[in-house]
Structures are given as C-alpha cells and as structure tokens.
Structure 1
Amino acid sequence: MNSQSTNHQTLKEYYGHILGGTKDLKTNACCSDPFSMPTHVRAILNQIDPAITDRFYGCGSPIPSALEGCRVLDLGCGTGRDSYILASLVGEQGQVIGIDMTDEQLMVATGHIPSMMEKFGFHQPNIDFRQGYIEDLQTPGIEDNSMDVVISNCVINLSPHKEEVFREIFRVLKPGGELLFSDVFAGQRIPAPLKDDPVLMGECLSGALYIEDFRRLLTGLGYPDYRLLSASPITIANQQIEEKIGNIDFQSLTVRLFKLDNLEDICEDYGQVAIYNGTVAEFPHFFQLDDHHRFINGKPMLVCGNTAAMVQDTRYGRHFTVHGDRKTHYGPFNCLPTATDNGPDCTTTGGCC
C-alpha cells in the first residue's frame, strides 16, 4: 500500500469511526466560530439539520459572495454543512457538488437532501454528493473548466500530495474562476516524525503547509498572487498534543485565489482605478477582496494590475467599474496597508502584500 493510500485509510478511520461528532475532537484546530460568518450566512446555517452540523470539522468560513446561478465544488464536504449553505446561495438554477472520501459522512450528507431542499423551497435538488479524493477529481466526473468556484474548509492539509490537489483545482476551474479555502497553516515545516501521527493528522495539524512552501507551490503552478482574507492563531488546548508539537505555531487562514493567466509576482502600477458599484446583494456598502482591499461603494480606489484583473476578469466584473489598462507601466505599485488597515507593517500575501 502506498503512502497516499495509507494516509487515506487513516483519515477514513478517524473521520468515519473515531470521531462521532465535533465534541470528539482532541484540539480546537478544526473548530470554526459561527459568529465569524456574515449575517446572511449565519441565517442559512440556522436552517441546516443538526445531524449535519454536529459532525462539522472546519476551521473557517470560506463562503464567497455573488454566487447566484454558479456551479460550486466543495472539496472534502463531509456531512455537507458548507455545501448546503452554498446550495442556498447559488439558488435553484445553480449547482453544488460535494466531494468526500468518507462513506459515513457522505451517507449523512446525501440522506438530508430532500429535507434541505424542502427548507430552501427548491422543487428540484441543486446539490450532488460524490465519493472521491481531492487529488483526483476526474474519477468523480469533474470536467475541465467546469466550475465557477471551488471551496474547501480545513481539508487540503489532510492530503499528502498537495500539489496534485491544486493542479486539479485549477484544472476544473473556469478561466476567471475562484478558489476560496480555509485551512491550517504552520509557521515552519512539520518534522517528518510527526507527519504520520494519526491523531495529529486527523486533527489537521501534521499536514499543515508551511506558508512559504504554499507560496512557492502556487508560483510553480503559475499563480503567484494569492490573497489573505483572515488569519487567526490556533491554540491547541490539549497538553499532551502541545508537548508533541513543541514550538510549532499554527494559524487558521482563509485564502482567495483566481484562475487568471495575467497575474504578476509583485504588484505593478498601470495607473488603474477600480470602483465598486455596490451591486453584490449581501454587501451593498462595501466589498472586501482581501485583508487590505475594502472597496467602498462608489469610491474610486487606485489598484495594482493584479487587483484590477481580480475585480474585472472574474464573475465580480459586473459589480465593478475599472478605468485604465496595462498599456502604460509606472513601476512597482505601493500596496502597503495603511495604519487603519491591519497595522503599519506589511505581511506578504503572495504577489500583493
């Protein structure tokens, strides 16, 4: 049995049999705070059957905006909590596909389709759950350039072959499509002896990506600019596990990427200006692209070439007016956050700091 198969079997056992619910987790790494969700998402969460939410193991809220009519893929959907939130947001004309490798979790997700569709008032199901592995999305039938959005909630860390995961994500995304995911990241590389520990693996710690290796991985795949939406430190709250991991620091990050072929590895200045039109229904007053780009409705904002592409050449384009193009280059773009954003220091988040 190869290492990937061994890893999958360990995780199937952990999530299928050892964990009976969120209460059985040994750390707080896979416990997201529902109050960190936007109000409109919390309202949907309140409609979801408790049997689904009681076995939720996410570390964030990777639910994007402007989803009406979209095709969305949820990697590692588990019992389907986020998938059902997405199903409500895409509407009856949209589609959500959830992929998971654990049969026990998929049984819960699939079994609640009729009741959840009734709660949403949909005449036909707009959601489909499939067994599969996130390193191989071809086997469950996810075609090239077929998805508007891909999300994942604390699952990519579980894969032993993360480059394969990201290759598959960018294969299935449409040009201009969005990847939004929450996951556990580490401040240093995880030592080899810890990587195979079944508890650390199941608790989303031993597979956490070192943030700089994540940046290098994306750059190697041709996507040099990712955006950070939120970051929060993870406190393990388990003395035995804390002793195992030593001084390694972990964070829960929510990250946004786009399948765009014109992104540069640093922010470049082309004199472009972006204006948010206030037309995303959930956010009439502002649109938060990342941790230091909050677009106020109607207010012109100077942006680098990468940011201009993200709000112009994606599904968000209908909600923005962008002035200027890339015909004239003015040098590097100063994208340092202001003192009123996230502090005086710039934390690098891919191409745009």
Structure 2
Amino acid sequence: MRNTTTNLEALKEYYGAILHGSADLKTSACCTAGEGLSPRMKAAMGNVNENVLSHFYGCGSPLPPLLEGCAVLDIGCGSGRDAYLAAQLTGPKGSVIGMDMTEEQLKIARDNLAWHMARFGYFRSNVDFRQGYMEDLGALGIADDSIDVVISNCVLNLSFDKRAVFGEIFRVLKPGGELFFSDVFSGRRVPSRFHSDQVLHGECLAGAMYTEDFRRLLRDLGCFDYRVTSSRRIELENPEVERTVGMVDFYSITVRAFKLSNLEDAREDYGQIARYHGAIPDWPHFFDLDDEHRFITGKPVLVCGNTASMLRDTRYGAHFTVEGDRSTHFGPFDVRPPVSTVGEGIPRAGEGESTSAGGCCC
C-alpha cells in the first residue's frame, strides 16, 4: 500500500488535474445538489459564479441556519461554492475561511473573489481562502475556540487521519459551536485494499466512514451525541465501480454536532420542555433539529437533557424557551410518550414528528 504522502499527492492530482468539472465524476457519490433548498438559499446559489459551480464537487448543501455575523470555516472548500454561499448568509459583519489542499481548486475560488464581493454588494471581502491540510488547521493560523460554525461538503472522508481532522475541528470551534457537514458514510468498513485506489478515493468511496466507527471517534473526542439531519443511500450508477466495491453500502448523510461539555452518552429524561419561537429564517412554522426532532412553533415538547442543551447552550438558544434543568432525573428518555404525558398534551420530541430535514445530500 502506498504511504500517506503518495496517497495525498494522488488525491491532489485527481481533483486538480484529472477532474476538470463535475461532469468528469465517475459516480454519483460526489454530485452537487440543489433540491430541497429554501427560496433564500436558491437566491444565494444564483449569486455564485458559474465557473465556481461547474468545478465544485460535493454531496449536499451543508449550511445550517443562523449564520449572520458568524465566523465560518469551510473545510475542503474546493472552488468555493459553499464558502460563497456562507459569505452571503453571514453578511458583511461575518467571516468565512475556506481551506483546501488543492492549488487548482483554490485558484478558481480566488480568481472569482472580487466578482462575488461586487455581486454581494460588499465593500470589503469577508472570505479568506487558505491552502493547507485539514489535519493541521493550526498551520493555517486558525486559533483555539475561534470558529462559530464548521461546514464541510463530502471532504472529510478523503482524510487518511480522521481522528486528527475531527480533533482539529473541535479545537477551533467555540464552546457551543456547531459542526454541520455532509459526507459519504458506509454500512460496513471499506476493505483496506481499496484505500489507496485513486479513483475510489477520489470518488469519496474508499475513505467513507463506517457509521459506528464515526460514533466511536466522536465519543473518544468528547462528543457523546451527534444528530443526523438527512440520510439517503447512494446508487453508484457505474457498473465497473459497482463490480469493484459493490459489497459495501454507501450513504450520503448530513450530520450536526456541537461542542458542548455537558452531553451524555445516552439520552436522559430530566422532565425538560422546549418551545420553538418560530423566528429562525426559513423556519417560520417548525424547526427540524434532526431527523427525529421537529419542533412546531409554540408547541411544548418534552426533550432529553442533550437536546435541551443543544437548543439552549448554542446560538439557537435565542429561538427556544427551555424549561427545567438537570436537578431531577427521571430515567432514560423514551421517545414513546407514557399515558400520563399524552393526557397532559405535551408530546416528546420525535414522537410523531419525524422528518427528513437539513441540507439534503444528492
């Protein structure tokens, strides 16, 4: 098997020299998506230069709400599509760092910087593109506790040291900060013989994270609970690739995780209640925290301790009222409401409210 340096050079070659546009991709794993976007997001996409769009490779639109004024880091920004979307959503008072290891991709992003700032009506750029490696964000001058939101689009799977990547992400996030990313996951560990295959790795398959290994990795880094906002199985749509790696089931998943010190490794019941105010842009009638939790505007919902913390101790806190604390423990949190709860008319989060939400992967 080739060493890590050789594999990285092969990835750079794949994205910098072999692929000249999204049409050159050999599978649908790293396709860009526009479906499921809100009218505001579609309008923002319309402000992105066509040259940037045609050279962008991603499996979703991992942009959470409430980015205005935030410091955003886009890991593996490529030609800059999501960075330029985030630049519009943060507004001129926010900032976006787009980092990537591929010089050719960053050249496209940088060459279009002035065009985008003029298009957005910004007198000063709020985007900074930096070349480097996601395993060492410190080398790019990104300090501890300096980023509000980290986004990434079908890139983290490419790393040969995912522990280093996620360790760096949680280092640079501010307390209460959010990691929101779309990527390719697998239902089993991808056989090691494929890890150095240039095409399979470049197509985001060889490095796909086995979901249970991902859970264990975040747990080891101190993040005991993450949420899935959307998930769908990937159809490879390439007979040759299917014959090679078809024994593995691949999924495009969008994940939300927070840098919170009080998350527990199981969902516990403290009798806490959350009410959504209905004021998050694009979410006037309900808000989907994940694919299990839909909060109807004004409706009281019983939530576990972890969900209460995600809603109260992050930038979402201004948009929710969370009643109760962790002073009294009632046992494991069960999404199935007991009879007494139904009688009180307060449903538990997730009960009868499940939905697919967030930046859907293609």
Partner of 2:214, secondary structure, is helix
Deviations 1:305-336 (A, max 9, x none): 00000000001111111100010100001136
Q: How far apart, CA to CA, are the structure 2 residues paired with 1:197 and 1:2?
A: 10
Change (3 A) 1:340 1:286: closer
TM-score between the two structures when normalised by the length of structure 1: 0.95
- Displacement, 1:41? 1.1
Give 1:170's aligned amino acid: F
The aligned residue for residue 354 of structure 2 is 341
Q: How far apart, CA to CA, are the structure 2 residues paired with 1:19 and 1:127?
A: 25
Give 2:354's aligned amino acid: D
The aligned residue for residue 130 of structure 2 is 130
- Displacement, 1:338? 3.6
- Listed as ranges, the gaps of 5+ residues in structure 2 are 337-349, 357-362
**What is the percent sequence identity of the aligned residues?**
57
Contact 1:179–1:258 at 8 Å: present in 2 too? yes
Matches within 5 A, 1:131-210: 131-210=131-210
Matches within 5 A, 1:240-251: 240-251=240-251
Q: How far apart, CA to CA, are the structure 2 residues paired with 1:136 and 1:18?
A: 26
Q: Which range is displaced more, 294-303 or 170-179?
A: 294-303
Moved over 3 A (4+): 336-340
Partner of 1:205, secondary structure, is coil
The aligned residue for residue 57 of structure 2 is 57
- Displacement, 1:271? 0.5
- Displacement, 1:18? 0.1
- Listed as ranges, the gaps of 5+ residues in structure 1 are 344-353
Contact 2:294–2:353 at 8 Å: present in 1 too? no
Deviations 1:251-284 (A, max 9, x none): 0000000000100111000010011111212222
Residues paired across the two proteins, number: 343
Give 2:100's aligned amino acid: D
Partner of 1:237, secondary structure, is coil
Partner of 1:214, secondary structure, is helix
Q: How far apart, CA to CA, are the structure 2 residues paired with 1:130 and 1:58?
A: 19
Give 1:76's aligned amino acid: G
Higher relative contact order (CA 8 A, sep 6+): 2
Contact 1:117–1:125 at 8 Å: present in 2 too? yes
**Does residue 305 of structure 2 align to residue 292 of structure 1?**
no
Deviations 1:20-69 (A, max 9, x none): 00000000000132012222211111111100000111001110001110
Q: How far apart, CA to CA, are the structure 1 residues paired with 2:72 and 2:60?
A: 17
Q: How far apart, CA to CA, are the structure 2 residues paired with 1:332 and 1:82?
A: 39
The aligned residue for residue 46 of structure 1 is 46
Q: How far apart, CA to CA, are the structure 2 residues paired with 1:7 and 1:315?
A: 38
Q: How far apart, CA to CA, are the structure 1 residues paired with 2:2 and 2:176?
A: 35
The aligned residue for residue 213 of structure 2 is 213
**RMSD, aligned α-carbons:** 1.4
Q: How far apart, CA to CA, are the structure 2 residues paired with 1:56 and 1:198?
A: 19
Contact 1:27–1:237 at 8 Å: present in 2 too? yes
The aligned residue for residue 225 of structure 1 is 225
Q: Which range is displaced more, 39-48 or 224-233?
A: 39-48
Q: Which range is displaced more, 59-68 or 39-48?
A: 39-48
The aligned residue for residue 37 of structure 1 is 37
Contact 2:71–2:95 at 8 Å: present in 1 too? yes
Matches within 5 A, 1:315-334: 315-334=315-334
Partner of 1:199, secondary structure, is helix
- Displacement, 1:339? 5.1
Contact 2:26–2:203 at 8 Å: present in 1 too? yes
Partner of 2:139, secondary structure, is coil
- Displacement, 1:340? 5.5
Q: How far apart, CA to CA, are the structure 2 residues paired with 1:266 and 1:37?
A: 32
Q: How far apart, CA to CA, are the structure 1 residues paired with 2:2 and 2:14?
A: 19
Deviations 1:174-196 (A, max 9, x none): 00000000000011001111111
TM-score between the two structures when normalised by the length of structure 2: 0.92
Contact 1:36–1:61 at 8 Å: present in 2 too? no
Contact 1:35–1:42 at 8 Å: present in 2 too? no
The aligned residue for residue 264 of structure 1 is 264
**Does residue 66 of structure 2 align to residue 66 of structure 1?**
yes
Q: How far apart, CA to CA, are the structure 2 residues paired with 1:335 and 1:215?
A: 21
Q: How far apart, CA to CA, are the structure 1 residues paired with 2:198 and 2:43?
A: 35
- Displacement, 1:298? 1.0
The aligned residue for residue 20 of structure 1 is 20
